[in-house]
């Protein structure tokens, strides 16, 4: 008789021991990894301890911040017997140097004292709710009283013999009193109608503002997944000061600007923000964008969220006024660019008889005419660098001189 001992791997899913590493993460990774862990984006964490092996492994899924509908990133850590990370990997596109924020988040998760119960925590931060975007504002604790301003109280006119209220108080019936009663009904009807109209407009405005805020916040998270093309320029101290004070804006200011300029060309701030930066626009397109947006929503059964001007977070000399952000099932799907070419002012985009497009960049795909655009990193890098050189070499100095002259004129006028 003898006892046979089976070697089995150990699987640990809670109460992890601390781990150490020599990975030099970027400073901005610190708040991101903490937010990711506290919101429950790090899930399915599991440590596998191999019997009779020097290396153990830890793996986890990290939910994407931009969309929960996409597959999460898979992060793996290999640790030695002293619980020091030997190597790390992640399925995201930016893990070439093993320094991505998802690896940082998993390490932070493991080393937290409260990691005992975090594997089952429900995700909240960055997660589209059941009533995401167009509907989620009510889940944020807003009451109807916050959705519109209290109507102005009209000062009462002192009663007099000629006052209509005095006529209404007359005891005996008369033709004058009957007329006053009907006039009062009409006045009440108009007041209620105007009040309801104000309420509806205010609620709709709050809808759009909150849609924009949530949408732009998610767009910034989405942008973190793509590369930027930095280039250092040596500019004069006065230009540098002006750039930091007038061109650079924080994320909070950026979101506020996008919401305050929802009506785009009808907003003074929209023109001011674009005047300081490189952007582009076409007048014929503006006049027809709303019709095109409504048609797009009906045809593809999606929601198109309206946003104002958005400043590039990493390169604030660039800005864009998006035609819309396409949302399907609570998640951002794509950016909508509406084209209303001058060549089709008096012609349909598609000739029904010949079934050919009157726009040379449209192509037939699966029975529909569309524009296929692929992201080309080489093209983008080349264009961004050329625009950047133009901005810092020519545009910024000219803008600064113009604003200084304008300021001098205003000061002399005051004097």
pTM for the model: 0.51
Hey, CA dihedral for 198, 200, 203, 206, is it positive or negative? negative
Q: Are 101 and 141 in the same domain? A: no
Q: Are 254 and 344 in the same domain? A: yes
Average pLDDT of the chain is 75
| 78, burial (CB in 10 Å: exposed 0-12, middle 13-18, buried 19+) | middle
Q: What's the structural domain count of the chain?
A: 3
Print the domain residue range for 45.
10-120
What is the rounded distance in angstroms from the CA atom of residue 364 to the CA atom of residue 239? 49
- Say what the pLDDT of residue 127 is: 43
Q: Are 332 and 315 in the same domain? A: yes
Residue 365 lies in a domain: no
Q: Are 65 and 94 in the same domain? A: yes
At what angle are helices 268-275 and 251-260 packed, to 10 degrees? 130
Residue 99 lies in a domain: yes
Q: pLDDT, tens digit, for every residue of 273-293? A: 999 999 866 555 566 677 788
Mean pLDDT, residues 317-343 taken together? 83
Secondary structure of 3-57 as H, E, C letters: CCCCCCCEEECCCCCCCECCCCCCCCHHHHHHHHHHCCCEEEEEEEECCCCCCEE
What is the rounded distance in angstroms from the CA atom of residue 152 to the CA atom of residue 259? 26
Element spanning 253, H or E: helix 251-260
Whose tokens are 């809670």? That residue is: 14
The domain that contains 341 carries what CATH number? 3.90.320
Q: Are 141 and 110 in the same domain? A: no
CA dihedral of residues 199, 200, 201, 204 (deg, nearest 10)? 120
Kindly state the tokens that stand for 3: 């006892």
Q: 153-162, 199-208, 313-322, 329-338 — which one is most confidently predicted on average?
A: 313-322
What is the rounded distance in angstroms from the CA atom of residue 95 to the CA atom of residue 362? 37
Residue 160 lies in a domain: no
Q: Are 235 and 181 in the same domain? A: no
Residue 193 lies in a domain: yes
Rg (CA), the chain: 30
Whose tokens are 């985009």? That residue is: 349
Percent of the chain with pLDDT over 70: 69
Q: pLDDT, tens digit, for every residue of 360-379? A: 666 665 555 666 677 788 89
Q: pLDDT, tens digit, for every residue of 201-213? A: 777 777 888 888 8
């Amino acid at each position: 008789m003898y006892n046979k001992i089976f070697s089995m791997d150990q699987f640990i899913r809670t109460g992890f021991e601390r781990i150490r590493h020599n990975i030099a993460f970027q400073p901005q990774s610190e708040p991101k990894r903490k937010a990711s862990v506290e919101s429950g984006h790090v899930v399915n964490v599991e440590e596998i301890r191999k019997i009779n092996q020097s290396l153990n492994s830890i793996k986890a899924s990290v939910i994407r911040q931009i969309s929960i509908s996409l597959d999460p990133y898979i992060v793996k850590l290999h640790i030695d017997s002293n619980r020091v990370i030997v190597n790390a990997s992640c399925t995201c596109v930016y893990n070439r140097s093993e320094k991505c924020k998802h690896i940082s988040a998993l390490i932070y998760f493991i080393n937290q004292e409260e990691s005992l119960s975090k594997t089952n925590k429900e995700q909240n931060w960055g997660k589209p709710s059941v009533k995401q975007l167009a509907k989620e504002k009510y889940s944020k604790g807003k009451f109807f009283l916050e959705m519109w301003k209290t109507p102005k109280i009209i000062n009462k006119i002192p009663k007099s013999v000629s006052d209509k209220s005095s006529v209404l108080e007359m005891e005996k019936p008369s033709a004058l009193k009957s007329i006053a009663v009907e006039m009062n009904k009409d006045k009440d009807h108009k007041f209620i109608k105007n009040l309801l109209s104000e309420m509806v407009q205010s609620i709709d405005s709050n809808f759009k503002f909150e849609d924009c805020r949530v949408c732009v916040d998610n767009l910034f998270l989405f942008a973190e997944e793509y590369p930027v093309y930095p280039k250092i320029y040596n500019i004069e101290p006065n230009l540098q000061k002006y750039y930091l004070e007038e061109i650079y804006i924080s994320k909070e200011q950026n979101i506020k600007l996008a919401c305050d300029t929802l009506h785009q060309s009808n907003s003074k701030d929209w023109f001011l923000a674009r005047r300081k930066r490189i952007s582009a626009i076409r007048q014929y397109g503006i006049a027809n964008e709303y019709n095109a947006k409504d048609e797009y929503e009906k045809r593809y059964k999606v929601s198109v969220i309206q946003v104002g001007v958005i400043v590039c977070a990493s390169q604030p000399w660039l800005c864009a006024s998006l035609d819309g952000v396409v949302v399907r099932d609570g998640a951002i799907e794509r950016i909508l660019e509406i084209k209303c070419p001058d060549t089709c002012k008096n012609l349909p985009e598609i000739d029904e008889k010949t079934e050919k497009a009157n726009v040379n960049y449209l192509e037939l795909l699966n029975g529909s005419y569309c524009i296929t655009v692929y992201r080309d990193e080489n093209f983008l890098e080349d264009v961004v660098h050329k625009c950047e050189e133009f901005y810092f070499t020519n545009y910024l100095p000219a803008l600064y001189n113009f604003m200084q002259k304008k300021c001098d004129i205003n000061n002399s006028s005051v004097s």
